[in-house]
Structure 1
Amino acid sequence: MDATNVVSNVVVIGILLFVWRSLDMRISQLDKRLSDRIDHLDERVSQIEERIAHLGERIAHLSERISRIEGLFEAFARKSNLFESEKKT
Structure 2
Amino acid sequence: MMTERMIYKIIGQRVREYRIARQLTQEEISEKLQMSRPSITNIESGKHRIQIHVLYELAKLFDIPIQNLVVIVCDNENQNAIVV
**More strand as a share of residues:** 2
Structure having the higher helix fraction is 1
TM-score above 0.5: no
Q: Which has the higher contact order (CA 8 A, sep 6+)?
A: 2
Which has more radius of gyration? 1
Give the structure-2-normalised TM-score.
0.26
Normalised to the residue count of structure 1, the TM-score between the two structures is 0.25
